Amino acid sequence: MPAGRLWPLMDPDEMVRSLEAERARGVALFGAAETLDDLEAAQVEVMGRRSRFSAVQKAVGSVPPEDRKRVGQVANDVRGELQQALAARREALESLAEDALLDADRIDLTLPGRAPRIGSLHPLTIVEREAVEVFTSLGFRVAEGPEVEDDWHNFQALNIPEDHPARTMKDSLYVGVPGHPELLLRTETSAVQIRTMQSQPPPVFVVAPGRVYRRETSDPTHLPVFHQIEGLAVDEGITFADLKGTLEAFARAMFGERRRIRLGPAFFPFVEPGCEVGVSCFRCEGAGCRVCGTGWIELLGAGMVHPVVLENCGYDSERYTGFAFGLGIERVAMLRYEIADIRMLVDGDVRVLEQFQGVV
């Protein structure tokens, strides 16, 4: 008999005892397995190809017929029970592993929690919203226009002559669309005046906030892209006094009740007369300080809409008059927040930007 081959000479009763012993050993081993790896090792040992159980099972075929059924039955029972014990333990170990994972992932909901950091509005957004709000509360509505403009809306209709320096490549940014040399990035929101008047009959009361572009190298007081708010009021009987009253109301709402304004002569091709508007300094009350120097802050350009501009838009300049103004948003933000360098507004440095809190 070759070594290791005990069968088929084994006695059927001994086979049954052996199976019972393997049943007990297997159930105990499986139950004792601490991990899925342990369990797999136990399975190989108890039920694997080289296991005693396997050997006995294989020998069932050679048991004499009168005992074969009995031994075979026991072998089947034992296999069934071992498989059951194995499955039960595997399930238990798997659910333990899952519990451990869940435990590791546990979130303690009894803690107060971390509040998300809430962002702040950009100072330009704060100033723009506030200014627009002041004008809409006075009865103006918001108008918009494209940032890519044509020569007519940006210059011609605004009475800006052919030889005006703003029209040269040196000062304006032309888009360079093939076949459309007249397209440029608008240099001022005044172009929206034209589009608004073209699209509706008087009366007109609009403000147009928006981005404008100039061919300019940035420095502490200049950016090639900046923001303006344009204002336009056209109706029968609009006078310079209306302009003054409107701007005074704006200055007080924006910079404090005690503000006064002053008007000085200035030239802009699309208004006649044109003026420069100064506001008494909100910081030193007009005494003179490092923000204003002289006690006055020059804030915007304005004037009575030039009759040529009204006519260019199809308005009857004999019947209607109007005023217009243009305000730099960056300038207001710099004054109000005492920002020394305009580039701070576009550098995107959170340490700078998060200092400004406005009404969202």
Residues that bind ligand DAH (CB under 6 A): 188, 190, 230, 268, 271, 274, 301-303, 324-326
Q: Which of 41, 18, 22, 21 is nearest to 89 (CA)?
A: 41
Residue closer to ligand DAH by CB (options 123, 326) is 326
∠ CA 281-283-286, rounded to 5°: 40
Q: Which of 162, 160, 186 is nearest to 268 (CA)?
A: 160
Residue closer to ligand DAH by CB (options 35, 168) is 168
Q: How far is the CB of 198 from ligand DAH (least distance, A)?
A: 16
∠ CA 227-231-234, rounded to 5°: 160
Strand partners, 36: none
Under a CB-based contact definition with an 8 Å cutoff, are residues 260 and 249 in contact? no
Residue closer to ligand DAH by CB (options 74, 302) is 302
Regarding beta strands 296-305 and 141-142, do their DSSP bridges make them parallel or antiparallel, or are they unpaired?
Answer: unpaired
**Residue 290 half-sphere exposure, CB side, CA atoms within 13 Å?**
4
Residue closer to ligand DAH by CB (options 190, 196) is 190
Residue closer to ligand DAH by CB (options 274, 286) is 274
Q: How far is the CB of 159 from ligand DAH (least distance, A)?
A: 11
Q: State the Cα–Cα distance between residues 360 and 351, nearest whole angstrom.
A: 19
Q: How far is the CB of 154 from ligand DAH (least distance, A)?
A: 10
Residue closer to ligand DAH by CB (options 43, 228) is 228
Q: How far is the CB of 116 from ligand DAH (least distance, A)?
A: 40
Q: Which of 324, 139, 136 is nearest to 233 (CA)?
A: 324
Strand partners, 232: 206, 324
Residue closer to ligand DAH by CB (options 19, 299) is 299
Q: How far is the CB of 142 from ligand DAH (least distance, A)?
A: 16
Element (H, E) at 322: strand 321-328
C-alpha distance from residue 101 to each of 97, 104, 280 (Å): 6, 5, 68
Q: How far is the CB of 111 from ligand DAH (least distance, A)?
A: 55
Q: How far is the CB of 199 from ligand DAH (least distance, A)?
A: 18
> What residue has token string 């009204």?
310
Q: Which of 297, 278, 299, 301 is nearest to 288 (CA)?
A: 297
Residue closer to ligand DAH by CB (options 155, 282) is 155
Regarding beta strands 141-142 and 204-213, do their DSSP bridges make them parallel or antiparallel, or are they unpaired?
Answer: parallel
Q: State the Cα–Cα distance between residues 345 and 331, nearest whole angstrom.
A: 11
Q: State the Cα–Cα distance between residues 77 and 360, nearest whole angstrom.
A: 76
Q: How far is the CB of 359 from ligand DAH (least distance, A)?
A: 27
Q: State the Cα–Cα distance between residues 122 and 356, nearest whole angstrom.
A: 7
Cα first-last separation, the chain: 95
Q: How far is the CB of 258 from ligand DAH (least distance, A)?
A: 26
Under a CB-based contact definition with an 8 Å cutoff, are residues 242 and 326 in contact? no
Residue closer to ligand DAH by CB (options 43, 154) is 154
Q: How far is the CB of 121 from ligand DAH (least distance, A)?
A: 25
Residue closer to ligand DAH by CB (options 45, 276) is 276
